[in-house]
Each structure stands twice: as C-alpha cells, then as structure tokens.
Structure 1
Amino acid sequence: MPKIVDHEQYRQELLMKSFDLFAEKGYASITMREIAKGLGVSTGTLYHYFPSKEALFLQLIEELTKQDILNFLAEAGDAQTLAERIKTLMNFIAKNEDYFFKQNLLMLDFYQQQERTEVLHNQTLRRVWDDAIQALASYLEIEDRAIAEFIYCFVNGLISARMFESDTISYTEQSELLVNMLTAYLENRQKETLSEKIRK
C-alpha cells in the first residue's frame, strides 16, 4: 500500500527546515540545489513545492511570522496592563534573541537582492507586515495602528542595535522607556480629546 503524504504538512516541514540553511549561507549565496541537499530531498521535489528560491523564501517568511505570533501568544499569559504586556513582549524577544538576529539579517540580505519597487509592491511582504502589526495591536490592546507600527519599528530597531551593542543596550531599560513614552503620549491624547469635547 503506498504511503499517504500530507502535502501541506510536508511543505511546511520543508519551509521550517530551510530557515537554518538560509540563515547559515544567506539568501544571496544559497542555491536551490544546496537547499535541496541540506533538506535531504531531490531538487525536483523542492521545485515541485516551490517554483523558485524567492517563492520558497517568501513562503518561509510568511510561515515564520505565523509561528512567531502563535509561539508568543502561547507564552504570553494574561498580562493586565500595557506595561506588563510590553515587558512580556520584550522578555520573549530577549529569550529568542539569536533567532531574531538571524531573521533580521536574512531579511536584510533578501532586500539587498531586490529592486526597491519590487519590495514595495510585494503582496506577501505586505501581508506579513499587516499580520504582525494586527497581532501586536491586538495583544497590546491598542486601537491606533500608527502606535502599533511605531512599537513594531522600535522593537526591530532594538533587535538591530543589540546585534552590535548587546552589552550596553538593555531590553529591560528600553521597555521601561517605551512604556513611559507611550503612557505619557496616551495620557496627553486623552486630555486633548477631553478638552475638544468640552469645547464642543
């Protein structure tokens, strides 16, 4: 009796296993032949699931984003305040710092190989960005998308800075600063909204 293969599960397994291969060699340097060899499959099998290296990479980024969100939410628990939720987020990033370093470096390598207009109009990358922002806004219970985008950019900048200055930049210190800034900003906005209502 022939073995029944769950093609979607197999595709996801190939994707997740390819992350370390991409991270080790970089997007630009690695070939589909090398990826297939590293995964222990034929090049034909790899091309059956992914028509090109770019398609494989984009699907990988999409899958990693889904897994990152699920893994974080599984660990996050039930933080009550914005400060607690930001601290929980920073603790998760600190705990998985090496992984996020690899992910950021890999994304930079991919972007370096693309035309700026291709990146800007890439639907997969847009979807990944939107999914990450929506998940962050939902977890932090922030309705203003611009604030969620600011926090996401802040966190990614912090990860990049830690790659070079890990001894001098503290996740704890930075999360406290972020909480203080956001609290002051949100309180100020609340006062402005209240003043506006009173004037009307």
Structure 2
Amino acid sequence: MTHTRGKPEPTRWGDREQRRIDILRSGEALLMSGGYDALRMRDVAAGADISLGTVYTYYPNKESLFIAIFAHRLDAMMARLAPAIASARDAVEAFTVTVNMYREDYQIFGRQFDALSLGTLENEVQAEAADLLRQSTERMVAALSSVLLRFGYEGDPAPAMTLLWATMRGLANHYASLRQQFLVVPWDDAVRFAAESLTRSFGLGMSPGSD
C-alpha cells in the first residue's frame, strides 16, 4: 500500500489480499486495545473502512477472524524470532529469546485460544483460518526443531518440541494469571532455570558461565 502525506491510500477495489490484511490489522488493533471482547465485527469493519458485509465475506464469524489474526501474529513473531535464534550462541539463549517473545502475545492471543474449546474450534472456525494457524505453528516448530539439531540434539525432535512448547506455554500462562502469587519467582529467573534444565536434559552444550 502506498502512502500520501503520511496517510495510507484506500485499498483499491478488487485487491482482495490487501483488503484481507486491512481486516486483520483492524481486528488486531481491537484485540491489543481491548482484548477478545473488543473484537466486534462491526468495529473491525469500521477500522478497515469497509462494510460489515464485506468482513463477513472473508470471515464468517468472530472465531474465524480471531484464529486468522492469531496466525498472522505468529508469522510476524516468527519474522522477528528467526534471526534472533539463528544468531543464538547456545540452546539456552535460543530458548530464552523465544519464550520472551512468546510471552508478549500470550496474554491476548494464547490465553484466548486456550479458552476456546476444541468443540468450538471444530464447529465454528472456517477451515481456511484453521489451516493458516496450523501452518504458522508448524513453521515455528520447524524453526525451533532446527535449533535443537544445530546444538547437537540426537533424538526425535517431535517429543522434545512437545516438552519445549508445553514449557513455554506453561511459563507464559503462570505469569499471566494469579498463579504467580502462590509461587513467587521472578520471570527471568524462571526462564533461565527452565532453559538450562531443558538444555541439560537434552544433552546440549551450553556457553561457558551457564553452569
């Protein structure tokens, strides 16, 4: 999209891909400012400067739109994360930078995704949006799996990634809820301990001074 005097030009008629991005950006802005309750289709339409009916031609319901925004957000995170983990000196650093980025989005996106039951996802979310989220997640898992292999992991990456993903999600969830009041450990300390423990259990090398 081009800009004139600092303002974006209206999306041209027929540019479906840019229109889709306009909808996702409008929805993301609502999520970031007011959470899932603020994701109202009418407000999404207003933010994208289109009719409500047009929004529904792309996403048939709020659940589908949320999942599409979540996938878009994961891809944006992966674009920032990829060079960071590529330059990581060891697995501890790679895990630490990943979980810190993951935490940024978890409160709005991850927690709400957890709140949507599997039944809701299967019955309400359009297949296209669900596929986008699966593909975004698969790209992130593949990138992290390659990190394990790069630092010397010799086992099957799949179960290792299950543990890594569960640990990231568990840490993010713990520090996004009242649970942290019952087990008070600073975030950085908890992440460091988890990263070093997982690195040792996977038999990966660590930089000098990690012990």
TM-score, normalised by the number of residues in structure 2: 0.67
Q: 1:36 to 1:175 in 2, by over 3 A?
A: same
The residue correspondences of 1:1-200 to structure 2 (distance < 5 A) are 4=12, 6-22=15-31, 24=34, 26=36, 30-76=39-85, 78-93=87-102, 97=104, 99-109=105-115, 111-112=116-117, 115=119, 118=122, 123-124=130-131, 125-141=133-149, 144-164=157-177, 165=180, 168-187=184-203
Unaligned stretches of 5+ in structure 1? 189-200
- Size of the aligned set, in residue pairs, is 179
Question: 1:86–1:140: 8 Å Cα contact kept in structure 2?
Answer: no
Q: In the TM superposition, what whole-angstrom CA distance separates every residue of 1:84-134 from its partner, at most 9, and x where no partner exists?
A: 21232244346xx3x33111232134x14x526828x97525444433322
More helix by share: 1
Runs (4 or more) in structure 1 with deviation over 6 Å come to: none
Q: Is the 8 A contact 1:14 1:39 kept in 2?
A: yes
Q: Which amino acid aligns with 1:146?
A: P
Taking only the aligned residue pairs, the percentage that are identical comes to: 20
Q: Indicate how the Cα distance of structure 1 residues 10 and 139 shifts in structure 2: closer, same or farther if over 3 A, else same.
A: farther
| Paired AA for residue 158 in structure 1 | L
Structure-2 separation of matches of 1:160 and 1:36: 31
Structure 2, unmatched stretches of 5+, are: 1-10, 205-211
Rounded to whole Å, the distance in 2 between the matches of 1:83 and 1:91 is 12
> What is the CA–CA distance in structure 2 between the aligned matches of 1:57 and 1:67, rounded to whole Å?
15
Contact 2:96–2:191, Cα closer than 8 Å, also in 1: yes
Residue identity in the other structure for 2:170: G
**RMSD (CA atoms):** 3.3
Q: Distance in 2 between matches of 1:39 and 1:52?
A: 16
- 1:194 equivalent in structure 2: none
| TM-score, L = length of structure 1 | 0.70
